């Protein structure tokens, strides 16, 4: 009764939470398996950002509940954002679910599984279902363990939880709670441990990382707590690359812009959620910046690091969005020339202000705008990737590619690359000459001689 399968929906934070739960379960004697049909316990770590994500997990749970009827000892549970958002209400629709654990209680999962999987004749009463979506002070400090079963060249590190903003479309402040930061020292210790185990790249995670420690950790030399944290992580031996997600545009002050130039390990790759290119929409979304302020940040960053890579989040079909508003998003896309973007069709989240706004946009219109923006994005990604043809890129080798017999890794700009290598190079920075480029990937071969500076693509941070 100790084989657990965890399926994760949604963002990197959810992946990180699942990994932390998995490692806590392993410490308790459970085994993590990669096949659902081999598991005694199936946990779905859920996402609530859009209705579709919730429906997917509910559909999956319906299937698991049918399996449980044939095999009553199967334990099934929801964790994470949807569990937090809907709580016990989920049991009305899915009464067979054993466990519902919210975003501040992940670390109690081992205890709950012990109770739910106890042998029925052990004299311990087996509860019918457990629902725990309580708030817990300090819970942000419980997402710190990593699985150590394999070398993790690139690892996620959770630095904070929650978000205090009030974007009118967003359910996250409800599912993740108020902002709570982990202490700098604890994060540094975690990253040092990862580096000692072979990790070379860390992505610092939070719902709004640029607000990290605001109000708790004082500014120092005009540097925000987040920039102070970046500096500390930059100083950790063995770590070669630092990334972070997700920031808020309003956190891009001079200190953070400067950090991209001054901290050699901080990759020149920024995820800068725009949401809309129309000031009218931004106001309705309660996003505290204008399109011109956003462009100013992009330009500041490009002045600081000319070959900066940009990605973004966009919502199409927010209530009241007209063709003209949408046009402004397209224009801004063309102006920035994003390398990557996540484009979302607006989804009503009950309890958020936008859900009850007038002028909801018909789904065909959202669909058409989604398609148009995706085409626009793919033109830019293609062009940006093509520009790398013939250049030599620093690649962090992550491991064998899933298909074929080559290896895969990423550039500092977070472009995926495929090339021939061997196992000894996993975890190393290698120079790869780009020979072919598609919208999403680069293909090339490793250079045997030293790396050149080509086409303004810097080769900073190379130590081996």
Tell me which residues touch ligand 5AD (CB under 6 A): 49-50, 169-170, 273, 275, 313, 315, 344, 346-347, 349
344 and 305 in contact (C-beta within 8 Å)? no
Shortest CB 351 distance to ligand 5AD, Å = 11
48 and 81 in contact (C-beta within 8 Å)? yes
Shortest CB 456 distance to ligand 5AD, Å = 30
182 and 138 in contact (C-beta within 8 Å)? no
Residue 22 vs 49, nearer CB to ligand 5AD: 49
Residue 361 vs 430, nearer CB to ligand 5AD: 361
Number of other residues whose CB lies within 10 A of the CB of residue 69 = 9
Shortest CB 413 distance to ligand 5AD, Å = 21
Residue 61: enclosing H or E segment and its boundaries? Answer: helix 51-70
Residue 249 vs 273, nearer CB to ligand 5AD: 273
Q: What is the DSSP string of 68-124?
A: HHHSTT-EEEEEEHHHHHHTTHHHHH-TT--EEE-TT-GGGHHHHHHHHHS-TTSSS
Shortest CB 385 distance to ligand 5AD, Å = 23
55 and 45 in contact (C-beta within 8 Å)? no
Residue 77 vs 206, nearer CB to ligand 5AD: 206
Contacts of 217 (CB under 8 A, 6+ apart): 181, 184, 225, 228
The crossing angle, in degrees rounded to 10, of helices 12-27 and 109-117 is 60
Residue 55 vs 438, nearer CB to ligand 5AD: 55
Name beta bridge partners: 270. 310
Name the residue among 149, 205, 148 with its Cα closest to residue 182.
Answer: 205
Shortest CB 315 distance to ligand 5AD, Å = 5
Residue 154 vs 311, nearer CB to ligand 5AD: 311
Residue 346 vs 418, nearer CB to ligand 5AD: 346
Shortest CB 17 distance to ligand 5AD, Å = 15
Shortest CB 395 distance to ligand 5AD, Å = 28
Q: What is the DSSP string of 184-213?
A: HHHHHHHHHHHHHTT--EEEEE-TTGGGTT
DSSP strand E in 364-440: where?
A: 392-400, 407-410, 416-419, 429-437
Residue 143 vs 170, nearer CB to ligand 5AD: 170
Shortest CB 347 distance to ligand 5AD, Å = 4
Torsional sign, CA 361, 367, 372, 376: positive
Shortest CB 348 distance to ligand 5AD, Å = 7
413 and 455 in contact (C-beta within 8 Å)? no
- Gap between the Cα atoms of 162 and 175, Å rounded: 8
Residue 205 vs 395, nearer CB to ligand 5AD: 205
């Amino acid at each position: 009764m100790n084989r657990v399968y965890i399926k994760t929906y949604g963002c990197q934070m959810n992946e990180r939470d699942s990994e932390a739960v998995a490692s806590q379960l392993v410490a308790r004697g459970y085994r993590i398996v990669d096949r659902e049909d081999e598991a005694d316990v199936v946990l779905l770590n859920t996402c609530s950002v859009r209705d579709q994500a919730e429906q997917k997990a509910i559909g999956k749970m319906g299937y698991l509940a049918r399996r449980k009827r044939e095999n009553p000892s199967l334990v099934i549970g929801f964790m994470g954002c949807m569990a937090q958002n809907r709580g016990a209400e989920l049991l009305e629709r899915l009464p067979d679910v054993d466990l519902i654990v919210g975003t501040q209680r992940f670390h109690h999962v081992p205890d709950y599984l012990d109770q739910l999987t106890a042998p029925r004749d052990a004299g311990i009463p087996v509860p019918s279902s457990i629902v725990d979506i309580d708030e817990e002070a300090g819970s942000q400090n419980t997402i710190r363990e990593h699985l150590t079963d394999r070398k993790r060249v690139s690892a996620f590190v959770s630095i904070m939880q929650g978000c205090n903003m009030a974007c009118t479309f967003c359910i996250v402040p409800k599912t993740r709670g108020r902002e709570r930061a982990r202490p700098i020292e604890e994060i540094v210790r975690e990253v040092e441990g990862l580096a000692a185990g072979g990790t070379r790249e860390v992505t610092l995670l939070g719902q709004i990382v640029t607000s990290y420690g605001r109000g708790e950790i004082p500014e120092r030399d005009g540097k925000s707590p987040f920039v102070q944290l970046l500096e500390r992580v930059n100083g950790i031996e063995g770590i070669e690359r630092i990334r972070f997600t997700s920031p808020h545009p309003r956190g891009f002050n001079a200190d953070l812009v400067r950090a991209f130039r001054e901290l050699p390990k901080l990759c020149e790759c920024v995820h800068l959620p725009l949401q809309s290119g129309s000031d009218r929409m931004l106001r309705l979304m309660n996003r505290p910046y204008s399109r011109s302020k956003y462009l100013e940040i992009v330009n500041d960053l490009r002045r600081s690091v000319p070959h900066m890579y940009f990605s973004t989040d966009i919502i199409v079909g927010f209530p009241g969005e007209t063709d003209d508003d949408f046009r402004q998003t397209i224009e801004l896309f063309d102006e920035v020339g994003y390398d990557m973007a996540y484009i979302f069709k607006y989804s009503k989240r009950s309890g958020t202000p936008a859900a009850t706004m007038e002028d909801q946009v018909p789904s065909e219109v959202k669909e058409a705008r989604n398609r148009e923006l995706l085409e626009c994005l793919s033109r830019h990604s293609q062009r940006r990737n093509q520009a790398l043809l013939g250049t030599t890129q620093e690649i962090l080798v992550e491991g064998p590619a899933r298909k074929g017999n080559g290896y895969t890794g990423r550039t500092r700009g977070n472009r995926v690359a495929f090339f021939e290598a061997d196992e000894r190079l996993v975890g190393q920075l290698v120079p790869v000459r780009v020979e072919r480029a598609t919208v999403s990937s680069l293909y090339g071969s490793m250079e045997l001689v030293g790396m050149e500076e080509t086409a303004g693509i810097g080769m900073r941070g190379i130590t081996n």
